[in-house]
Amino acid sequence: MTDKTRAVSPRPEGRPAVSAGQTDGGSAVSGTGTGEGWNAPKTLMEKASLRPLPTGAANDGAGAERSKSKLPRILSVISRHQLSPHMLRVTLGGEGLRNFPESQEGAHVKLLIPEPEIDPAGFLSQIEQGQRPVMRTYTIRHHRPDLREIDIDFALHGHEPGEEVGLKAGPESGPESGPEINSQVGQKIEGSGGPASNWAQRAIPGDFIGLFGPGPKKMTFLTADWFLLAADMTAIPAAAAALEEIPRDAVGTAVFEITSEEDRQEIDAPEGIDIHWLVNPSPEKPSREQSRFIRSIRWRPGRPSIFVAGEASVVKELRVHLLQERGIPREDSYVSAYWKIGVNEDTHQKIKRATAE
């Protein structure tokens, strides 16, 4: 099914101001922007004795072991907005984005998840002492430097394997959020996912989070003859950002596997890009829908640029088809497994590193 929808304004308009603690599962939650108390980024910087990091100071990729001299940026929650049943957008901003490079849509960042009831000064103190908070990789969906804001989209599906709550899978050191897989797919169960999505679902204006990055964008071959993108819910933010960055006269195909029909998004893609939405209500089970679709499309002449990201088994099959059978050069491709069914993110990262070695 093809859908050439167009994007609305990246920043939700007319967001209602709410009081602290107010939540509304399906609607936007916004702050007043007064910046009182420790929620004010400037006050936070003074209280934590943290100066804004210089551009690129925290761009060291893996982020597994960081020196005590490298502290994350501290960002405040500006708003929370339910994009679709299984995608939640959190807008982050504040003085922590001072000196942040411009035009970072599609770049990946590391989010450092604070423990409940800890304040920013205590959070930074723990990091200075060598304690490592839970860290997850996500994509910057929109960036508004003039407002010092970024949007991060979280895929919401359920649990994380190996954690007390159950089952999750996560991304590699690429741009995306891992899915939160739940056997009751389609039900929005707040707090039933992995640490990042749980934080996002609880977040209210004035909350804070740590951030390292940005890291590089993944789709860099933007002068191709045509474009082919394939992504599941975890990789749609990066794929959508790439589609909005390629030339406006670009042609090609994008195929997105979503959990429900209502999970379609408006993407400001060029008119020449055909967008197809494949509904898979059971993302916790292996799927061959993207592979079947891509194998069936008309192969355009010329040199393509490839973006493929999502669940490991799907990515593996598409990697074989595109790089081996089709002979697409690796330098023209971004093909990456963001998560693996039945494996949590930390274990998946270890497997990826061992495989690379």
Tens-digit pLDDT profile for residues 89-145: 999 999 999 999 999 999 999 999 999 999 999 999 999 999 999 999 999 999 999
CA atoms within 13 A on the CB side of 141: 27
Structure tokens at 169: 């899978």
pLDDT in tens, 333-342: 999 999 999 8
Same domain (yes/no): 54, 164: yes
Same domain (yes/no): 198, 245: no
Structure tokens at 306: 């490839």
Same domain (yes/no): 183, 35: yes
The C-alpha angle with vertex 175 and arms to 125 and 217, in degrees rounded to 5, equals 110
Hey, what amino acid is at 112?
A: L
Q: Is the dihedral of CA 247, 231, 106, 25 positive or negative?
A: positive
Hey, what amino acid is at 69?
A: S
Residue 1 lies in a domain: no
At 286, which CATH number? 3.40.50.80
Cα separation, 203 vs 209, in Å, equals 10
Q: Which residue has the tokens 């990826």?
A: 352
Peptide bond into 214 cis (omega under 30): yes
pLDDT of the residue at 343: 79
Our separate counts of H helices and E strands in the chain read 7, 12
Residue 16 lies in a domain: no
Q: How many CB atoms within 10 Å of residue 340?
A: 22
- DSSP letter (8 states) at residue 38: G
Same domain (yes/no): 189, 70: yes
Q: What is the dihedral of CA 242, 246, 251, 257, to 10 degrees?
A: 10
Structure tokens at 234: 């975890």
pLDDT of the residue at 193: 73
Tell me phi and psi for residue 150, to 5 degrees. -135, 150
Residue 348 lies in a domain: yes
Residue 64's closest CA among 8, 16, 141, 132? 132
Residue 20 lies in a domain: no
Beta bridge mates, 208: 76
Same domain (yes/no): 165, 55: yes
Same domain (yes/no): 204, 254: no
Same domain (yes/no): 282, 325: yes
Cα separation, 268 vs 278, in Å, equals 19
Domain closes at, from 212, 240, 255: 212
Residue 202 lies in a domain: yes
Same domain (yes/no): 58, 126: yes
Q: Taking the model in full, what pTM does it have?
A: 0.75
3-state helix, strand, coil in the chain (%, to 5): 20, 25, 50
H-helix segments, 8-89 = 41-48
Cα separation, 357 vs 354, in Å, equals 5
Beta bridge mates, 108: 139
Same domain (yes/no): 157, 286: no
Tell me phi and psi for residue 299, to 5 degrees. -85, 120
Same domain (yes/no): 147, 256: no
Residue 221 lies in a domain: no
Same domain (yes/no): 200, 271: no
Beta strands in 70-163 (DSSP E): 73-84, 87-93, 108-113, 134-144, 149-155
Cα separation, 108 vs 105, in Å, equals 9
Total domains in the fold of the chain: 2
Cα separation, 299 vs 192, in Å, equals 42
Cα separation, 351 vs 307, in Å, equals 22
Any idea how long the chain is? 357
Cα separation, 294 vs 198, in Å, equals 34
At 71, which CATH number? 2.40.30.10
pLDDT lower than 50: segments of the chain: 1, 4-69, 159-191, 357
CB 282 within 8 A of CB 186: no
Residue 338 lies in a domain: yes
Residue 22 lies in a domain: no
Domain closes at, from 212, 234, 265: 212
Same domain (yes/no): 55, 161: yes
Q: Which domain holds residue 66?
A: 29-212
Domain closes at, from 160, 190, 212: 212
pLDDT of the residue at 175: 35
